[in-house]
A and B are shown apart, each in its own frame.
Chain A
Amino acid sequence: MEKMARVTTALGGNTITGRTMFCHLDAPANAISVCRDAAQVVVAGRNIFKIYSIDEDQFVEKLNLRVGRKPSLNFSCADVVWHQMDENLLATAATNGVVVTWNLGKPSRNKQDQLFTEHKRTVNKVCFHPTEVYMLLSGSQDGYMKCFDLRKKDSVSTFSGQSESVRDVQFSIRDYFTFAATFENGNVQLWDIRRPDRYERMFTAHNGPVFCCDWHLEDRGWLATGGRDKMVKVWDMNTNRAKEIYCVQTIASVARVKWRPECKHHIATCSMMVDHNIYVWDVRRPFIPSAMFEEHKDVTTGIVWRHLHDPYFLLSGSKDSTLYQHIFKDASQPIDRANPEGLCYSLFGDLAFAAKESLISSDSNRKPYIGDRRHPIFFKRKLDPTEQFEYISSSSALSVFETDLESGSMDWFVRTAKQYVLAGRPLAELCDHNAKVAKELDRDQVAQTWTMLRIIYSSPGTVPSANLNHSLGKGSTSLPLMNSFNLKDIPPGIGNESRLERSKGESRSENILMDSSSTLINNDENEETEGSDVPADYLLGDVEGDEDELYMMDHENPHAEEQEYILPQEAFPLRHEIVDNPSALDHLQDKADSPHVSGNEAETVSLTPVESFSLISISHSLYENRLPPDFFSPIVRDMLLFYAEQGDVQMAVSVLIVLGDRIKKEIDEQTQEHWYTSYIDLLQRFQLWNISNEVIKLSTCRAINCLNQASTTLHINCSNCKRPMSNKGWICDRCRQCASMCAVCHHVVKGLFVWCQGCSHGGHLQHIMKWLETSSHCPAGCGHLCEYT
Chain B
Amino acid sequence: MDFGEVPMKPEMMAAAYGSLKYSFHFYTHSGSVWRVTWAHPEFGQVLASCSFDRTAVVWEEIVGESNDKLRGQSHWVKRTTLVDSRTSVTDVKFAPKHMGLMLATCSADGVVRIYEAPDVMNLSQWSLQHEISCKLSCSCISWNPSSSRAHSPMIAVGSDDNSPNILAKVQIYEYNENTRKYAKAETLMTVTDPVHDIAFAPNLGRSFHILAVATKDVRIFTLKPVRKELTTSGGLTKFEIQIVAQFDNHNSQVWRVSWNITGTVLASSGDDGCVRLWKANYMDNWKCTGILKGNGSPVSGSSQQGMFNASLGSANTSLQNSLNGSAAGRYFFPPLDSPRAGSRWSSYAQLLPPPPLIEHSCDADTANLQYPHPSRRYISQPLNLLPENEGV
Residues in chain A within 8 A of chain B (CB atoms): 230, 249-251, 287-288, 334-335, 337-347, 349-356, 359-364, 366, 368-369, 371-382, 394-404, 406-407, 409-413, 441-446, 491-499, 501, 641, 643-649, 652-653, 670-671, 673-675, 677-679, 681-682, 684-685
Is A404 touching B317 in the complex (CB atoms < 8 A)? yes
- Mark out the residues of chain B between 292 and 344 whose CB falls within 8 Å of any chain A CB in the assembled complex: 292-297, 310-311, 314, 317-318, 321-328, 330-337, 341
* 10 residue pairs, one from A and one from B, having the closest CB atoms: A493-B325, A342-B4, A401-B331, A369-B356, A360-B294, A674-B148, A375-B354, A496-B282, A343-B256, A360-B273
- Complex Cα distance, B387 from A491, in Å, reads 12
- Mark out the residues of chain B between 244 and 303 whose CB falls within 8 Å of any chain A CB in the assembled complex: 255-265, 267-273, 275, 280-283, 292-297
Contact of B4 among A344, A371, A443 (CB under 8 A): A344
Chain A, residue nearest B13 (CB): A379
- Complex Cα distance, B318 from A315, in Å, reads 67
Is B331 touching A351 in the complex (CB atoms < 8 A)? yes
- Complex Cα distance, B30 from A338, in Å, reads 16
Contacting residues, chain B, for A413 (C-beta < 8 A) = 262, 389, 392
Is A376 touching B333 in the complex (CB atoms < 8 A)? yes
Of A371, A404, A407, A643, chain B has the most CB atoms within 10 Å of the CB of: A407
Is B8 touching A493 in the complex (CB atoms < 8 A)? no
- Complex Cα distance, B312 from A476, in Å, reads 47
Known: A341-B270, A378-B349, A493-B323. 13 other contacts (CB 8 A): A341-B255, A343-B258, A350-B331, A352-B3, A353-B292, A359-B273, A368-B296, A369-B310, A376-B355, A395-B8, A407-B389, A443-B389, A492-B324
Indicate whether B111 reaches chain A with its CB closer than 8 angstroms. no
Is A343 touching B150 in the complex (CB atoms < 8 A)? no
- Mark out the residues of chain B between 162 and 189 whose CB falls within 8 Å of any chain A CB in the assembled complex: none
Indicate whether B388 reaches chain A with its CB closer than 8 angstroms. yes
Contacting residues, chain B, for A374 (C-beta < 8 A) = 310, 332-336, 357
Contacting residues, chain B, for A653 (C-beta < 8 A) = 205
Contacting residues, chain A, for B13 (C-beta < 8 A) = 379, 398
Is B22 touching A379 in the complex (CB atoms < 8 A)? yes
Main secondary structure of the interface of B (DSSP, over half): loop
Contacting residues, chain A, for B311 (C-beta < 8 A) = 369, 371-372
A-B contact pairs, 16 of them (CB 8 A): A339-B197, A339-B255, A340-B271, A342-B256, A345-B261, A346-B1, A359-B273, A382-B348, A407-B328, A409-B260, A412-B389, A442-B326, A494-B390, A495-B282, A677-B148, A679-B204
What string of 1s and 0s marks CB contacts (under 8 Å) between B117-148 and chain A? 00000000000000000000001000000111
Of the four ranges (under 10, 10 to 19, 20 to 34, 35 or more), the interface on chain B belongs to 35 or more
Of B31, B41, B258, B392, chain A has the most CB atoms within 10 Å of the CB of: B392
Chain A, residue nearest B194 (CB): A337
Is A251 touching B53 in the complex (CB atoms < 8 A)? yes
Chain A, residue nearest B260 (CB): A345
- Complex Cα distance, B44 from A681, in Å, reads 15
Is B207 touching A681 in the complex (CB atoms < 8 A)? no
Of A409, A649, A679, chain B has the most CB atoms within 10 Å of the CB of: A409
Is A494 touching B3 in the complex (CB atoms < 8 A)? no
- Complex Cα distance, B352 from A682, in Å, reads 37
- Complex Cα distance, B30 from A677, in Å, reads 40
Contacting residues, chain B, for A346 (C-beta < 8 A) = 1, 17
Q: How many Å from the CB of A285 to the closest CB on chain B?
A: 9
Q: How many Å from the CB of B243 to the closest CB on chain A?
A: 18
Contacting residues, chain A, for B8 (C-beta < 8 A) = 287, 381, 394-396
Q: How many Å from the CB of B131 to the closest CB on chain A?
A: 20
Contacting residues, chain B, for A337 (C-beta < 8 A) = 139, 160
Is A674 touching B271 in the complex (CB atoms < 8 A)? no
Is A671 touching B336 in the complex (CB atoms < 8 A)? no
Is A493 touching B387 in the complex (CB atoms < 8 A)? yes
Contacting residues, chain A, for B325 (C-beta < 8 A) = 442-444, 491, 493-494
Contact of B294 among A397, A411, A677 (CB under 8 A): A397
Indicate whether B234 reaches chain A with its CB closer than 8 angstroms. no
Is B149 touching A372 in the complex (CB atoms < 8 A)? no
Is B88 touching A368 in the complex (CB atoms < 8 A)? no
Is A368 touching B355 in the complex (CB atoms < 8 A)? yes
Q: How many Å from the CB of A679 to the closest CB on chain B?
A: 7
- Complex Cα distance, B332 from A497, in Å, reads 28
Is B333 touching A251 in the complex (CB atoms < 8 A)? no
Is A410 touching B386 in the complex (CB atoms < 8 A)? no
- Complex Cα distance, B337 from A404, in Å, reads 17
Indicate whether B97 reaches chain A with its CB closer than 8 angstroms. yes
Is B5 touching A648 in the complex (CB atoms < 8 A)? no
Is B42 touching A343 in the complex (CB atoms < 8 A)? no
Is A377 touching B334 in the complex (CB atoms < 8 A)? yes
Contacting residues, chain B, for A363 (C-beta < 8 A) = 295, 297
- Complex Cα distance, B42 from A360, in Å, reads 36
Residues in chain B within 8 A of chain A (CB atoms): 1-10, 13, 15, 17, 20, 22, 29-32, 34, 41-42, 52-54, 88, 97-98, 139, 146-150, 160, 196-197, 201-208, 255-265, 267-273, 275, 280-283, 292-297, 310-311, 314, 317-318, 321-328, 330-337, 341, 347-358, 382-383, 385-392
With A495-B386, A673-B148 known as contacts, the answer to whether A347 contacts B261 (CB < 8 A) is yes
Contacting residues, chain A, for B389 (C-beta < 8 A) = 407, 409, 411-413, 441-443
Is B337 touching A369 in the complex (CB atoms < 8 A)? no
Is A368 touching B336 in the complex (CB atoms < 8 A)? no
With A288-B7, A352-B15, A369-B310 known as contacts, the answer to whether A673 contacts B267 (CB < 8 A) is no
Contact of A354 among B6, B88, B297 (CB under 8 A): B6
Q: How many Å from the CB of B348 to the closest CB on chain A?
A: 6
Is B256 touching A372 in the complex (CB atoms < 8 A)? no
- Complex Cα distance, B387 from A341, in Å, reads 28
- Complex Cα distance, B292 from A401, in Å, reads 8
Is A646 touching B392 in the complex (CB atoms < 8 A)? yes
Is B336 touching A373 in the complex (CB atoms < 8 A)? yes
Contact of B204 among A347, A380, A400, A678 (CB under 8 A): A678
Contacting residues, chain B, for A445 (C-beta < 8 A) = 390-391
Contacting residues, chain A, for B321 (C-beta < 8 A) = 406-407, 442
Contacting residues, chain A, for B196 (C-beta < 8 A) = 339
Chain B, residue nearest A343 (CB): B256
Contacting residues, chain B, for A673 (C-beta < 8 A) = 148-149
With A382-B349, A499-B282, A644-B206 known as contacts, the answer to whether A353 contacts B9 (CB < 8 A) is no
Is B333 touching A354 in the complex (CB atoms < 8 A)? no
Contact of B390 among A251, A349, A493 (CB under 8 A): A493
Contact of B275 among A340, A351, A362, A366 (CB under 8 A): A351
Q: How many Å from the CB of B34 to the closest CB on chain A?
A: 7
Contacting residues, chain B, for A497 (C-beta < 8 A) = 282
Contact of B9 among A349, A381, A399, A678 (CB under 8 A): A381
Q: How many Å from the CB of B290 to the closest CB on chain A?
A: 9
Is A675 touching B354 in the complex (CB atoms < 8 A)? no
Contacting residues, chain A, for B272 (C-beta < 8 A) = 359
- Complex Cα distance, B205 from A648, in Å, reads 8
Is A354 touching B3 in the complex (CB atoms < 8 A)? yes
Is A372 touching B275 in the complex (CB atoms < 8 A)? no
Is B204 touching A649 in the complex (CB atoms < 8 A)? yes
- Complex Cα distance, B357 from A374, in Å, reads 6
Contact of B334 among A342, A400, A674 (CB under 8 A): A400
Contacting residues, chain B, for A401 (C-beta < 8 A) = 275, 292, 331-333, 358
With A342-B5, A344-B1, A355-B6 known as contacts, the answer to whether A407 contacts B273 (CB < 8 A) is no
Q: How many Å from the CB of B208 to the closest CB on chain A?
A: 7
Q: How many Å from the CB of A654 to the closest CB on chain B?
A: 12
- Complex Cα distance, B262 from A339, in Å, reads 26
Contacting residues, chain A, for B332 (C-beta < 8 A) = 374, 401-404
Contacting residues, chain B, for A495 (C-beta < 8 A) = 281-282, 383, 385-387, 390
- Complex Cα distance, B318 from A561, in Å, reads 35
Contacting residues, chain A, for B326 (C-beta < 8 A) = 407, 442, 493
Is B255 touching A288 in the complex (CB atoms < 8 A)? no
Contact of B317 among A406, A441, A670 (CB under 8 A): A406
Contact of B88 among A334, A376, A444, A641 (CB under 8 A): A334
- Complex Cα distance, B324 from A368, in Å, reads 30
Is B283 touching A373 in the complex (CB atoms < 8 A)? no
